[in-house]
Structure 1
Amino acid sequence: MPLRARNQLVVDNLHIVGAATASVASRLTQVSRDDLTSAGAYALVRAADRFDEAMGIPFGAYARGRVNWALMDELRAMDWAPREVRSRAKAVTRARDALAARLGRTPTVAEIAQSMGIEPSAVREGLADADRLVTSLDVPDAREIPWTGYLPDELVLASERDEFLHRAVDALPEKKRDVIRAIYFDERTVKDIAEELGVTHAAVSQQRAEAVRMLRDALDRHYADEPASPASRASRSSAAVLDAYFERLSASGRRSGHAAAQPLSV
Structure 2
Amino acid sequence: MYTATGTRTIDKEQFVTEFTPLVKRIAYHMMTRLPASVQVDDLIQAGMIGLLDAINRYEGSYGRQFESYAAQRIRGSILDELREADWLPRSLRRKMRRIEAAINLLEQRNGCAPSEQELAEELNMPLDEYHEILQNARGAQLIYYEDFQQEDEEPFLDRLLVDAEGDPLNALLDENFRKLLIVAIDNLPPREKQVMGMHYEQEMNLREIGEVLGVSESRVCQLHTQAIARLRSRLRNS
TM-score by length of 2: 0.41
**Structure number having the greater helix percentage:** 1
Structure with higher RCO (Cα < 8 A, 6+ apart): 2
TM-score by length of 1: 0.38
